[in-house]
Homo-oligomer: A and B are copies of this chain.
Amino acid sequence: MSKQLSGDLARADSLAREIFSDIANKWALLIVETIGDSTKRFTELKTEVDGISHKMLTQNLRLLERNGLVTRVVHPTVPPRVDYTLTEPGQALRATVDAMCAWTTRYLSEIEEARSRFGHSS
């Protein structure tokens, strides 16, 4: 089954592949992870997702919104206030991102070691 999935996505099987390509980029995933189960304002995300530029943030938020992963609520106040929240699909994706994050920390040392080994091979 997982082999089936792999085949479906590795090959340009249309929509699934397109979505995967949209989602599988660090900014989108970091944003999803940062929103988590809470509700975040634009500026909160801007400061919490370290290193992201204003442009990349809006761009990726639009992307996520377009794919129905986040809801965007505009409060008609002044100054304006916009809240972002994960939808149910977004939450489901977040679970997998959590797994990736866990993986990263779990294998930190192994990776570090692999890197040093790789350095002086040649």
Chain A residues touching B, majority SS: helix
Please judge, given known A-B contacts A24-B26, A104-B19, whether A12 and B51 are in contact too, CB under 8 Å: yes
Q: Return chain B residues, CB-CB under 8 Å to A50.
A: 10-12, 17
Is B98 in contact with A5, judged by CB distance below 8 angstroms?
Answer: yes
How many residues of chain A have a CB within 8 Å of chain B?
A: 57
Name A118's contact: one of B66, B98, B117 (CB within 8 Å).
B66
Copies of this protein, total: 2
Q: Return chain B residues, CB-CB under 8 Å to A36.
A: 2-3, 6
The 8 A CB mask of A63-101 against B (1 = contact, 0 = none) is: 001111000000000000000000001001101101111
- A: which residues have CB within 8 A of B? 2-3, 5-12, 15-17, 19-21, 23-26, 29-30, 33-34, 36, 48-51, 65-68, 89, 92-93, 95-96, 98-108, 110-115, 117-118
Cβ contacts A to B, 7 pairs, < 8 Å: A5-B101, A10-B49, A25-B25, A66-B114, A89-B110, A93-B100, A96-B100
